[in-house]
Amino acid sequence: MSIRARALRRAVKAFVVGPEATLEEQREAMDRVDKLPRPRNMDYTNVTVGGIDGLRAKPAGLTSDRHILYLHGGGYVLGSPLSHIGMAARLARRAAATVTVIDYRLAPEHPYPAAIDDCAAAYEGLLAETQAESVCIAGDSAGGGATVATLARLRATGSPRPGCAYLISPWVDLTSSGESITTRAEADPMIDAAFIEDVAVQYAAETPLDDPGVSPLFEDLTGMPPLLIQVGDDEVLLSDSTRLADKARAAGVEVELEIADGMWHVYQAFARYLPEADKALDRAAIFISAHTRASAARSQGSVLQH
């Protein structure tokens, strides 16, 4: 673990907004991440894709049609394009791709399946701009779970599957049956079991927590595109990733699982400040570039540009 990682680990816990804050305060705190400098040499625009609003980042001068549809985390109750555009843009710049972070509906105002409805609609809308094999669907935490649930929805509706999917600390088991919920409880500075259990109920509402649409760990994973799963060894959702990888491989899916020693939940969010996060996004860009088609030559921006 790097010296910066040790320092950040201590700082993260101190700045996490506790459950005593109202939902609105928690949402505002998460969106304040956008007050940090966004990556430079990127064009940022507000867009609507498939009827879903979003925020788009594109490397200046990019001519490739490679596209990342990014589904933000936040337990399905927090987060927005503002909270995640910085990390998404850093990924897009490395992969020489355009990224669109969508503003899917949040619980408890809009419980399941509203978020997945919006994610699927955005993907379908994106196909008017580029071909499926040029698209990577990516997401962190709840957004990682939403990615798997969206892939299952697209398969059920007969939509063309994307070139690949990139999952960061995916939350795919809302029943909290994984052993790391307990064994990593003291190690993860970002989230805890109480938060997970609370927002799971808010999101699922009347749907059972083990329904495959809510908890895609229990979904049939046959026919999924290649998956890259990155997770920290010190996070409560570690078991979600390891079980998902095992189940996907058993279904014949191409899977790459990376477990980062000493890292916590969605450590990739600290790219630019944390060497481990920069390297994780570098590897993700290589994976995305290898599994998506870019039909036009790239001008600015190429793989592994920071």
What's the token pair of residue 268? Answer: 């990739």
Among the options 64, 134, 141, 241, which is catalytic? 141
* CB-based contacts of 125, cutoff 8 Å, min separation 6: 49, 50, 51, 52
Our answer to whether residue 235 is catalytic in this structure is yes
Q: 44: helix, coil or strand?
A: strand
Helix (H) or strand (E) holding 302: none
Per the CB < 8 A criterion, the answer to whether 115 and 216 are in contact is no
* CB-based contacts of 24, cutoff 8 Å, min separation 6: none
Our answer to whether residue 24 is catalytic in this structure is no
Our answer to whether residue 110 is catalytic in this structure is no
Per the CB < 8 A criterion, the answer to whether 83 and 30 are in contact is yes
Among the options 67, 72, 84, 265, which is catalytic? 265
Among the options 235, 239, 241, 291, which is catalytic? 235
What helix, strand, coil percent values describe the chain, rounded to 5? 40, 15, 45
Omega into 59 within 30° of 0, i.e. cis? no
- Catalytic amino acids? 141, 235, 265
